[in-house]
Amino acid sequence: MNHPSKEYRKMGQLSGKTAVITGGTSGIGLATARRFAQEGARVYVTGRRKDALDEAAAAIGGDVTAVRADSADLDDLDRLYATVEAAGDRIDILFANAGGGEFATLEQVTEEHFDATFGTNVKGTLFTVQKSLPHLNDGASVILTGSTAGTVGNEAFGVYGASKAAVRSFARTWANELRTRAIRVNAIAPGPITTPGLDNLAPTAEEATQLREHLATTVPLGRMGQPEEVAGLALFLATDQSSYITGTEIFVDGGANQI
* Residue 224: C-alpha distances to residues 140, 168, 204, 210 (Å): 31, 23, 19, 12
Average pLDDT of span 114-128: 98
Mapped onto helix, strand or coil, the DSSP state of residue 189 is: strand
pLDDT at 235 over 80: yes
Spell out the domain ranges in the chain.
18-252
Which pLDDT belongs to residue 70? 97
Which pLDDT belongs to residue 97? 98
Which pLDDT belongs to residue 83? 98
Amino acid at 237: L
- The Cα 57–Cα 167 span in angstroms is 27
- The Cα 85–Cα 15 span in angstroms is 19
Kind and range of the H or E element at 111? helix 111-118
pLDDT tens, residue by residue, 188-217? 999 999 998 888 888 899 999 999 999 999
- The Cα 29–Cα 46 span in angstroms is 9
- The Cα 166–Cα 161 span in angstroms is 9
Reported pTM: 0.94
- The Cα 199–Cα 222 span in angstroms is 19
Average pLDDT of span 100-110: 96
Nearest CA among 2, 49, 59, 56 for reference residue 24: 56
pLDDT at 67 over 70: yes
Which pLDDT belongs to residue 8? 42
Which pLDDT belongs to residue 10? 52
Fold observed for domain 18-252: Rossmann fold (3.40.50)
Catalytic residue selected from 44, 81, 160, 244: 160
Which pLDDT belongs to residue 201? 85
pLDDT tens, residue by residue, 149-165? 999 988 999 999 999 99
Average pLDDT of span 55-75: 97
Neighbours of 223 (CB within 10 A): 14
Helix 50-60 with 27-38: angle, nearest 10 deg = 40
Strand order of the sheet with strand 249-252? 63-68, 42-47, 18-21, 91-96, 136-145, 184-190, 249-252
Q: Are 41 and 4 in contact (CB under 8 A)?
A: no
Which pLDDT belongs to residue 3? 46
HSE value, Cβ hemisphere, 13 Å, CA-based, for 212 = 17
Mapped onto helix, strand or coil, the DSSP state of residue 202 is: coil
Identify whether 44 is a catalytic site residue. no
3-state secondary structure 24-81: CCCHHHHHHHHHHHHCCCEEEEEECCHHHHHHHHHHHCCEEEEEECCCCCHHHHHHHH
Output the average pLDDT for the chain. 94
- The Cα 79–Cα 40 span in angstroms is 24
pLDDT at 9 over 50: no
Q: Are 173 and 249 in contact (CB under 8 A)?
A: no
66 φ, ψ to 5°? -100, 130
